[in-house]
Amino acid sequence: MKTIIIYFMVALASLIMNCYGQSKTDNFKNYFDLISSQHNGNILVSQNGKTIAQLSSGYSNIPKKQTCNINSSFNLASISKVITSTAVLQLRDKGKFKLDDPLTNYLKEFPFKDVTIRHLLTHTSGLPDLELFEELVKHFPDTIITNRNIIPELQKWKHGLYFKPGDEFRYCNTEYNLLALLIEKTSGLKFNTYLEKNIFRKAGMHHTYLSIYPDFDSKDKLAVIPHGKEHPGYDSTYTAADSIPRYKYLNYNNKGTVGQGGVMSTTTDLLLFDRAFFNGKLLKMTSLQEALTPLTLNNGSTYYQDRMDTLDGEGKMTYGLGWEIFEQPDYGKSVGHGGYKIGLATFYWHNIAKDQVLIGFDNTASSEFGRFLTSSIAILNDKSPLAIRTSKSLVTLYGTALVNRGIDYAASVLNSNKSKETYYLSEWEMNELGYNLYYMSKFKGHEELALETFKLATLLFQDSFNTYDSYAQLLMESGKNEEAVMMYSKSIIMNPDNEQGKQKLAQLLNEK
């Protein structure tokens, strides 16, 4: 392992030293060569409409060892919202509706009269997200939700809107399902037919289509398969995410909706969309600028969040009409969108002033995906890439030992390796391991191993209230109420704002 680390350090240092002496193409080739063994998917970078570099690495189907190539088709996930938004603005420009019209003007059965089309585009409606379908799936576990379920379930929804429309930003996929219904209602075309005729064909996107249940296109069988780990923390084997029982609600029950996702495409086709959009082939230039204007809430303030979707580094993000808007000190204003499904991460970024484009797909949703993309933007702008991390997860090492060899052996493995640079220790991964062992595992004694994991976490991360809170939760689940009271009390002392912990503590004390 030390030899591998030294290789990456030397190679990265060489790349940084050569950044100013080589062409961007050469720099990208060197960088992509370094990360190809860690990345599973495709990356494309371009400037002024010309592709500078592409990476295609890893497998489209990991168990079958089928390799990715530059023409591999991926589900765009939430990048699809950019395309849905473009369709909405096209119809607005044709006079089919106004953005500030109530949705009930066009979808009469929609139960919330104060929600406008603009609220849907900007995630400011207050509507529920995927929790909308939990009751339906509870009663009919094999149900596959489609857009025709949206309005009937909203009519049954007993909790109302989360806030007055326009008061807050709350990301919500349901809004884009409704926009797809709006497009069908006002255009007289099926959603997939509208996209094919008015966006894909106009942009020359011949390898792009909408995947629709139950008539999934035969091309779906050739598309890249998202992969996940059934038991992260003690099993590193990747398998098709759709086959993992713990993800059934997200990957199976919710696979039939469109508008929020479902567009299948390639990196080269998405670049064609970018060219068509920013060259004014799909929208009027005034509508294009409107789509990329930051959201203003009811109180007159511009919405911002401190972190950016997918990317590392300094910057903040806001939202337009279906577009994420990035403001980065080193690069200025960029727009695009990220996407995520279990086992899949996608990202699209367009720097407006420099006409730079970055498109990335990863069908394992790797933890390094964002760093690879951030480094690609840096190289595109003659800056040094981020350090390539080669250390391995100490939690996975511990979890594997715990399940296979027991508590004492696992503790010894962890203690003998925690000071080594070859491993990193993550509180979040420790938390995930504990919950996975308790709730998602079925082998004999898995509950005891989960409790041991959280007990150890309180020793490793003594300054984190969350470790005590999580340990308390499993103690309570296990009927060890006296111990749970002590741990909840500890977590609340450390974080007086832990309202959920206070509620659980009060419940435990009332039961005494």
Domain ranges of the chain: 2-57+305-380, 78-285, 392-510
For 153-162, letters b (16+ CB in 10 Å) and e give bbeebeeebe
Q: Would you state the pLDDT for residue 230?
A: 86
Give me the mean pLDDT over the 198-216 stretch: 92
Give me the mean pLDDT over the 75-95 stretch: 98
Return d(Cα 473, Cα 491) in angstroms, integer: 11
Q: Check the CA dihedral 409-415-416-421 and report its sign.
A: positive
- pLDDT above 70 as % of the chain: 95
> How does DSSP classify residue 229?
E
134 pLDDT higher than 60: yes
Question: If we measure between CA atoms, which residue out of 218, 208, 222, 202 comes closest to residue 267?
Answer: 208
237 pLDDT higher than 70: yes
CA angle 487, 490, 494 (to 5 degrees): 140
Structure tokens, 180 = 């797809």
Q: Would you state the pLDDT for residue 20?
A: 47
Q: Would you state the pLDDT for residue 216?
A: 67
Q: Check the CA dihedral 141-142-147-152 and report its sign.
A: negative
Return d(Cα 500, Cα 105) in angstroms, integer: 41
85 pLDDT higher than 50: yes
10 pLDDT higher than 60: no
Q: Would you state the pLDDT for residue 11?
A: 47
Return d(Cα 443, Cα 434) in angstroms, integer: 14
Question: If we measure between CA atoms, which residue out of 369, 296, 339, 254 comes closest to residue 82?
Answer: 339
Do 338 and 324 contact (CB within 8 A), yes or no?
yes
Q: Would you state the pLDDT for residue 495?
A: 93
Beta bridge partners of 54: 44
Structure tokens, 114 = 């104060």
Place of tokens 């007055």: 164
More confident residue, 233 or 488: 488
Q: Would you state the pLDDT for residue 512?
A: 66
Beta bridge partners of 344: 341
- pLDDT-derived band at 245, boundaries 50, 70, 90: confident
- pLDDT above 90 as % of the chain: 83
Q: Would you state the pLDDT for residue 7?
A: 41
Q: Would you state the pLDDT for residue 219?
A: 67
- pLDDT-derived band at 218, boundaries 50, 70, 90: low
H or E stretch at 488: helix 481-494
> Measuring CA to CA, how many Å separate 120 from each of 82, 84, 170, 348, 501?
13, 11, 10, 21, 34
Q: Check the CA dihedral 412-417-423-428 and report its sign.
A: positive
More confident residue, 194 or 229: 194
331 pLDDT higher than 50: yes
pTM: 0.86
Give me the mean pLDDT over the 168-189 stretch: 98
- pLDDT-derived band at 282, boundaries 50, 70, 90: very high
Cis link prior to 111 (omega < 30° from 0)?
A: no
- pLDDT-derived band at 17, boundaries 50, 70, 90: very low
Q: What is the mean pLDDT of the chain?
A: 93
Q: What is the total residue count of the chain?
A: 512
3-state class (DSSP) for residue 498? coil
Q: Would you state the pLDDT for residue 306?
A: 86
- What are 418-431's pLDDT values in tens digits? 999 899 999 989 99
Question: If we measure between CA atoms, which residue out of 165, 126, 130 comes closest to residue 149?
Answer: 130
- pLDDT-derived band at 247, boundaries 50, 70, 90: confident
CA 244 to chain centroid = 18
Do 73 and 222 contact (CB within 8 A), yes or no?
yes
Do 183 and 147 contact (CB within 8 A), yes or no?
no
Continuous H helices in 250-368: 267-278, 285-291
24 pLDDT higher than 60: yes
19 pLDDT higher than 80: no
Return d(Cα 379, Cα 19) in angstroms, integer: 8
Q: CATH class for domain 78-285?
A: alpha beta
Place of tokens 């699809």: 80
Give me the mean pLDDT over the 22-46 stretch: 94
Structure tokens, 263 = 């567009």
Hey, what's the torsion of the CAs at 172, 210, 154, 113, to 10 degrees? 80
The reply to whether 78-285 and 392-510 are identical in fold is no
Question: If we measure between CA atoms, which residue out of 245, 248, 244, 177 comes closest to residue 212?
Answer: 177
- What are 463-496's pLDDT values in tens digits? 999 999 999 999 999 999 999 999 999 999 999 9
9 pLDDT higher than 70: no
> Which CATH number describes the domain made up of 392-510?
1.25.40.10
2 pLDDT higher than 50: no
User: For 328, left (φ over 0), alpha (ψ -120 to 50), or beta?
Assistant: beta
Give me the mean pLDDT over the 249-258 stretch: 92
Phi then psi dihedrals of residue 5, to 5 deg? -65, -45
Q: Would you state the pLDDT for residue 291?
A: 98
Do 240 and 172 contact (CB within 8 A), yes or no?
no
Least confidently predicted of 5-14, 82-91, 111-120, 367-376: 5-14
Return d(Cα 55, Cα 48) in angstroms, integer: 19
Q: Would you state the pLDDT for residue 1?
A: 40
Return d(Cα 122, Cα 167) in angstroms, integer: 11
165 pLDDT higher than 60: yes
- What are 434-463's pLDDT values in tens digits? 999 998 899 999 999 999 999 999 999 999
CA 46 to chain centroid = 23
User: For 102, left (φ over 0), alpha (ψ -120 to 50), or beta?
Assistant: beta
- Label residue 357 exposed, middle or buried (CB < 10 Å: 0-12, 13-18, 19+): buried
In this structure, the number of other CB atoms found within 10 A of the CB of residue 140 comes to: 10
